[in-house]
Structure 1
Amino acid sequence: MFRRFASYLKGQESAPGETKLLRKLDAFILSFCCLCYFVNYLDRTNLNNAYVSGMREELDFKGNELNRINTIFTVGYIVGQVPSNLALTFVSPRLFFPAVMIIWGGLTMTTAAVSSPQGIMAIRFFLGLAESSTFVGTHYILGSWYTEKELGKRSGIFTASGLAGTMFGGFIQTGIHSSMDGVQGLSGWRWLFIIDGLITIPIAIYGFIVFPDTPTTTKAKYLTADEKALAVARTPESGAIKVPLNLEFLKNVFCSWYWYAFVMLWIIAGETESFSSNALLALYMQSHPTIDYSVSQLNNYPTGVPAAGIISTLFWATLTDFVGGKRYLVGYFIAVVGIVTSTLILTCFDSTTTVFASYYWAGAVYACQATFFAWCNDAMRYKDERLRSVVIASMNMGSGAVNAWWSLIFYSATDAPRFTKGMWAMIGCSIALAFWTAGITYMTVREGKEEEGDRDVRVVDLHLEEKMVTEV
């Protein structure tokens, strides 16, 4: 065990049986997490699809009520981040993930019965609470099972599944609107919520059956005893340490540079996703001064944004693994994309082709989701599990806290189609991201050198211990 762990610390070749273990982990962990995130995004983004497909008129939306509903969802999402991630260190993830899936599936179906925007507001708060565990919880789990050379690709595949939910949501709404509008006296947008909610149930059951928890707690029958031992050996010793939740733990969180650095990183990076997360292209089309787009066009054309995000996410996640975990490269790439696309929209607004191309290209900034959370997992690989879970959850919580008011100020539906304030905000965030990325790069390199020295000492100690035991 000691020798195997030492080989991982030194970055040597794979241990015997590791390839087979990875195939099993990918088959069960990634399959469930990707399906979970797919329907999570499907349920989350179907509100925007429904809004442009008849819900606005049927429920008589006024002003920026859509933005307020999204803000209320974000508040629930924020509140649930840290508690849900900490819950994964106490409750079996195999039980926790499916349970919250069933809850949010039921809430999604309940949305089909609303008769006013206020009813949606109440439901979306609790929907945000239930869905808060999926993104940050999965990144915590991926960081527990996969090594630095494997994590980026898996994080990228997971993130891409959510973007696929966003992309297919538009096609699903188009199909439902054309085939089920008026069935049983219900509008097409109401059937969207019913069908999306029903999809979650079989996926939750699948997760309950196959999800393997974490390396130190897994009871998965499809893993042999040797594979379970190998999974633990691949994990740093700190992976088995779960410090008590007390004032000392709270002090360690707020005295850690990781918390401040990565939370602020995701706050800034999260706002560079604003073009996509606030459905600006759909709102631009709906409010276009001269072109009247059909319902199918309003749902289908914006799918190019998450499509660009999927390509960008998979490309950068794979590349940063290939070049040794240089996740900071994505920060500079996103900064350039944010500045250029905003400038093009500001200066070439009269060109519909340029505006569409800019919004599509802006979808590439979704690459930061996979790589920045993988970056945090990499940097905190040798820290205790609960500290890592809190930092990961706090990243998304911090971003959500800013999103709660950021979209109201810079991307209100009443600012469509130009969103001039939002374009300037994007330029500012992109510049800030470049500087913050440089700062974290410096800190992680410095910390890495210190930890490498500590690990070398630990490996020597392990060899000496083994030698003494052999001599005795």
Structure 2
Amino acid sequence: MSRLGNLTGSVWGGSSHSKSERKLLLKIDWFILSYCCLMYFTNYLDRSNVSNAYVSGMKEELHMEGTQYNQINTLFTCGYIVGMIPNNLILQVVPPRIWLPAMQIVWAVLTFSTSAVGNVHQVFAIRFLQGMAESSTFVGTHYILGSWYKPRELGKRSAIFTSSGLVGTLFSGVLQAAVYRNLDGKAGRSGWRWLFIIDGIITLPIAFYGFSIFPDVPTTTKAFYLSKEERLLSSSRLDATDTTRSPLSWNLAKRVLTRWRWYACSLLFAVSGETESFGSNNLMGLWLKAIGGYTVEQVDYYPSGMTAFAIVSTLVCATWTDRSQARWPVLVYMSVATAIAAICILVWSSPTGLKFFAYYLAGASYSGQATTFAWANQICADDQQERAIVLASMNMWNNVVNAWWPLVFYPATDAPRFRKGMIAMLATCAATLAVTWLVWYLERREWTTRGADVEDEGSKDRVDDDENPSREKNSTDVDTKL
């Protein structure tokens, strides 16, 4: 049993924990991850439902033309960008247990509204507002995870959270196929409209669950399931991390802008996040619809294979990187796998089976997401407010690129070949490798500088002792008198 416990601990990150710390981890794993994963599940369920609705009748019913599908995604991205940093800064003022569920209720209402649209322009407006509300979820959760977990615990939790969004994508295809088969035409509504109604029904109770159990951050938590001792332990065990709350000030801007972290981490995800274009633009679904010969249900089902491989890659890579504490190899794996997939699709004479393999292999692109944000949490662990800004900026700049990237390289009118997109993907993979090296180098340089500073401080103390031999004696005398 002890061997089993050690194995479980080495995989889950708790082999060296005391009994009280293991009990604390069990509680926060359940209450934090359960809500965050369910919240992100509904977040991605909603995002994926738009692409599934498009290939399941929405295009024809709303008379969509040209790149209007891409414009829907772009407007969602614009709303996402606008809401990103404000949402993360609000978490410094409004308790996360209030703000995150409140935003979830907002996007649930907007999801219901999508089921009643009469034209594509109404979808444009709803998706922009929905992007603003949903931008609270991803970076907000990574901020919360970085506040509760140590570096050796963080990667796996980030991966579980990221995978919950992928499960939402996976479930969306299955759900849309089932809705189309069983509800299309019921009560005079098309199947794709029922999809948004069901999505909203799933979302609302999860928001109310968040109001009741989410614990905020260690320094402010009043969660009913944590004892006073556990609240103190949750802060003290992160002794390498700045978990204090301080008022927002202009000094924050100075700290962020005069360090390398904001620039390098933002650039890393702005570039590496574009490797996810296979999945985020549902290229496989658009390819299947364009070449014909597949039913609506098959077009909804078959891309799920990419999502399934994405989940496996994310969890395996996160487990490995937590044990090794080396984050960069995951980004190398992701870039190489995605480059191979792009080459297989770019060579259009390749057989259909190889294209299926390529699209499924492209699911590896999602494995870098959890690792990149765990890496940023680790880099900025000594400054809570900087960490909030850096995490939000990473996702914000990635979405700034996403606002125009699909329109240029992955327009729906380019289906089924996406030749421009595959060439862009190869360039993105090469750029990801270069920026990964840059972040690795800057992090190592900072470590070296910190080590030198510590040595200099120690040398200074030794010199002071030599110059004032009575110093230690006097200190001892004072202690004795006290």
TM range (shorter): over 0.9
**Equivalent AA in structure 2 for residue 309 of structure 1:** A
Q: In structure 2, do the counterparts of structure 1 residues 100 and 455 end up closer, same or farther at CA, with 3 Å as the change threshold?
A: farther
> Could you tell me whether the CA contact under 8 Å between 2:142 and 2:158 is conserved in 1?
yes
Change (3 A) 1:12 1:417: closer
Cα distance, 1:346 vs. partner? 1.1
Residue 153 in structure 1 maps to residue 152 in structure 2: no
User: How many corresponding residue pairs?
Assistant: 453
1:33 maps to amino acid:
C
Relative to structure 1, the CA distance from residue 327 to residue 62 in structure 2 (aligned partners, 3 Å threshold; closer, same or farther) is same
How many Å apart are 1:469 and its aligned residue?
10
Tell whether 2:403 aligns with 1:407. no
Match of 1:308 in 2: 309
Q: C-alpha displacement at 1:331, in angstroms? A: 1.5
User: Does the aligned pair in 2 maintain the 1:349–1:418 contact within 8 Å?
Assistant: no
Deviations 1:332-384 (A, max 9, x none): 112211221111111244411111110100011100110000000011111x2
Question: Which residue in the other structure is 2:200 paired with?
Answer: 197
| Distance in 1, Cα, partners of 2:266 & 2:402 | 13
Matched, 1:432 2:431: yes
Report how far residue 468 of structure 1 moved: 10
- Tell me the residue number matched to 2:29: 26
Deviation at 1:453, TM superposition (A): 6.3
Match of 1:223 in 2: 226
Q: Identify the residue that residue 6 of structure 1 maps to in structure 2.
A: none
CA drift at 1:386: 1.2
Give the alignment's TM-score, normalised by structure 1: 0.92
Contact 1:236 1:381 (8 Å CA) reproduced: no
Task: Please say if 1:375 is aligned against 2:383.
Answer: no
Q: Tell me if the contact between 2:84 and 2:135 (Cα under 8 Å) persists in the aligned partners.
A: yes
Residues 80 and 130 in structure 1, CA contact (< 8 A), matched pair in contact too: yes
Which one is further off, 39-48 or 251-260?
A: 251-260
- Residue 174 of structure 2 is aligned to residue 175 of structure 1: no
Alignment-derived partner of residue 210 in structure 1: 213
Distance of 1:255 and 1:45 partners within structure 2: 38
How far the C-alpha of 1:448 sits from its partner, in A, is 2.5
Q: Structure 1 residue 235: deviation in Å? A: 2.2
- The residue number in structure 2 matching 1:8 is none
The residue that corresponds to 2:67 in the other structure is: 64
Query: Cα deviations across residues 14-51 of structure 1 (Å, max 9, x unaligned)?
Result: 34411110000101000000000000000111000001
Give aligned-pair identity as a percent. Answer: 50
User: Which residue type is aligned with residue 27 of structure 2?
Assistant: K
CA RMSD of aligned residues (A): 2.1
User: What one-letter code is carried by the residue in structure 1 that aligns with 2:50?
Assistant: L
- Taking structure 1 as reference, are residues 83 and 285 closer, same or farther at Cα in structure 2, changes over 3 Å only? same
Q: How far apart are the structure 1 equivalents of 2:362 and 2:388?
A: 30
CA offsets 1:115-141 (integer angstroms, 9 cap, x no match): 111110000000000000100000000
Instruction: Using structure 2 for the length normalisation, give the TM-score.
Output: 0.90
8 Å CA contact retained: 2:338, 2:361 = no
List gaps (5 residues or longer) in structure 2: 1-13, 462-471
After superposition, where does 1:261-340 map in structure 2 within 5 Å? 261-288=264-291, 291-323=292-324, 325-340=325-340
Q: Which has the larger radius of gyration?
A: 2
> Unpaired runs of 5+ in structure 1?
1-10
Tell me the distance in 1 between the aligned counterparts of 2:232 and 2:477. Answer: 24
Q: Distance in 1 between matches of 2:56 and 2:177?
A: 9
Classify the secondary structure of the residue corresponding to 1:62: coil
Corresponding residue for residue 359 of structure 1: 359
Per-residue displacement from partner, 1:44-73 (whole Å, max 9, x unpaired)? Answer: 110000011111111111111000010000
Task: Give the match for residue 166 of structure 1.
Answer: 169
Match of 1:252 in 2: 255
